Amino acid sequence: MTTIPGTTPYPWPWHGRLDPARVALLAVACPDPTGPDQDVEALAARVRDRGGLIVSVRVRAPYRKTGLDVAAPPTHPHHVVRASGWDGFHGSDLDDVLRTAGRDLLLIAGCCLELGAHSTMRAANDRGYECLLVADACAAASEELRQAALSTIEMSGGIFGAVGSRTAVMEKL
Amino acid sequence: MRYQTVPAEPYDWPFDGALDSATTALICIDWQADFCGPGGYVDMMGYDLSLTRAGLEPTAAVLDAARARGFLVIHTREGHRPDLSDCPPNKLWRSRRIGAGIGDPGPCGRILVRGEPGWEIVPEVAPIDGEPIVDKPGKGAFYATDLDLLLRTHGITHLILTGITTDVCVHTTMREANDRGYECLLLTDCTGATDKGNYEAAVKMVTMQGGVFGAVAPSSALLTSLGAR
């Protein structure tokens, strides 16, 4: 059994088989007023080094513009996918990229936690992917929304998956 | 028939001023015994049912007004095939771990299984003849369903959302709808969550960045616009 230490509400992944060859890091890039995130870069370097797949998921505001530019974390991704909404699966080839590469364990990081990261995690979970939100590699609009976004994931036994920390992921990989 | 815009946050809804019964649908999400009835899935997990039941009465009033004015009403239900072949193994494992295993027998029949008593929509907001019901295996009502096709076929561009739970199935569906270009209004007293703080944050998230997923309003504002009160 191999799981990431300290994940909530359950040891992730659920089946205890943390195989880097099945892992993909989804670096979600929303309109980001704070700019690129060094925490995501360090996490991506470790995941890549251990055989994980790095996918830069560029999401954007749908339909009505918010007036903010999209900033992508500089993660030298294996793949870049472009979604046509906040959900990285909507209008993109993300599902095909992950299936083709045999990746069903997803680490989710980026900005913003309650927007693109959350929508993408929700969509991934509905599709059967086993997701870990890397909380300290996600930026949120406010502390209040961060806490609620994490709590929502942890309710009902992990309704969208689990929550973990960047250091724990890097240590275990 | 066109109606006045609804006073809403963070902008009066809809943004294009077109509250029209021909292009607007009322979506009632997962008002099932499993989520708001005694002995159902949410009850089995030990959560406070009064939080998920709070929206039933206002939703019934909105349903009356919408039906009387000819709005399309669509209901959704979350549930799995009896053999659970459409239930991802991680979802099944998590539900068992918290003591409310999908497919396990409970006071309302097998939990979250299609055709069981717990899967039925509760009587207060039950569908009437002719109203489409969308059965979904996940949280989002657009994933692996024909909801998008139904809405397009009816010429629907605007959605008014009620249902449970706010932060899970309602939010996921609202996010999916917004990504697809539907103009969405969430009725704040016609929805509830298993945690009050998460309900409040889910409502607030909609209003960020000028309405990142649409707008929110109490049902009284909608009923006033419809001339129903």
Domain-wise residue ranges, chain A: 20-172
Q: Which residue of B16, B29, B139, B212 to mutate against A (max A Cβ within 10 Å)?
A: B212
CATH architecture of A20-172: 3-Layer(aba) Sandwich (3.40)
Q: How far apart are the first and last CA of chain A?
A: 14
- Three-class SS of residue A109? strand
pLDDT score of B53: 98
Closest alpha carbon to A83 in A115, A107, A61, A50: A61
Q: Is the pLDDT of residue A35 over 50?
A: no
Q: Is the pLDDT of residue A98 over 80?
A: yes
pLDDT score of A122: 98
Asked if B47 and B92 count as a contact pair (C-beta separation under 8 A), the reply is no
Question: Is B30 tagged catalytic?
Answer: yes
Q: Is the pLDDT of residue B120 over 80?
A: yes
pLDDT tens digits, B14-72: 999 889 999 999 999 999 999 999 999 999 999 999 999 999 999 999 999 999 999 99
Name the minimum distance, in Å, from the CA of B68 to any CA of chain A. Answer: 31
Q: Token match 């009725």: residue?
A: B187
Is A10 in Cβ contact with B205 (below 8 Å)?
no
pLDDT score of B160: 98
pLDDT score of A59: 87
**Superfamily of structural domain B2-225:** Isochorismatase-like (3.40.50.850)
Q: Which residue of B90, B112, B203 to mutate against A (max A Cβ within 10 Å)?
A: B90
Closest alpha carbon to B156 in B175, B139, B177: B177
Q: Pick B206 or A41 by higher pLDDT.
A: B206
pLDDT tens digits, A59-96: 877 644 433 333 445 468 899 999 999 999 999 999 99
Instruction: For residue A30, name the pLDDT band (cuts at 50, 70, 90).
Output: low
Is A149 in Cβ contact with B176 (below 8 Å)?
no
Please count the other Cβ atoms lying within 10 Å of the Cβ belonging to residue A140.
20
pLDDT tens digits, A6-22: 999 999 999 999 999 99
Asked if A53 and A87 count as a contact pair (C-beta separation under 8 A), the reply is no
C-alpha span between B66 and A116 (Å, rounded): 33
pLDDT score of A37: 59
Select the residue of B97, B176, B205 nearest A87 (Cβ to Cβ): B176
C-alpha span between A133 and A121 (Å, rounded): 8
In the predicted model, what is the mean pLDDT of residues A115-121?
Answer: 96
In the predicted model, what is the mean pLDDT of residues B189-215?
Answer: 95
Q: Is the pLDDT of residue A32 over 70?
A: no
Instruction: For residue B157, name the pLDDT band (cuts at 50, 70, 90).
Output: very high
Is B172 in Cβ contact with A156 (below 8 Å)?
no
Interface of A to B at Cβ within 8 Å reads 10, 13-15, 61-64, 66, 68, 83-87, 90-91, 114-115, 118-119, 122-123, 125-128, 130, 141, 144-145, 147-149, 151-152, 155-161
For A75-98, the DSSP string reads ---SEEEE-SSSSTTTTSSHHHHH
In the predicted model, what is the mean pLDDT of residues B200-204?
Answer: 97
- Three-class SS of residue B99? coil
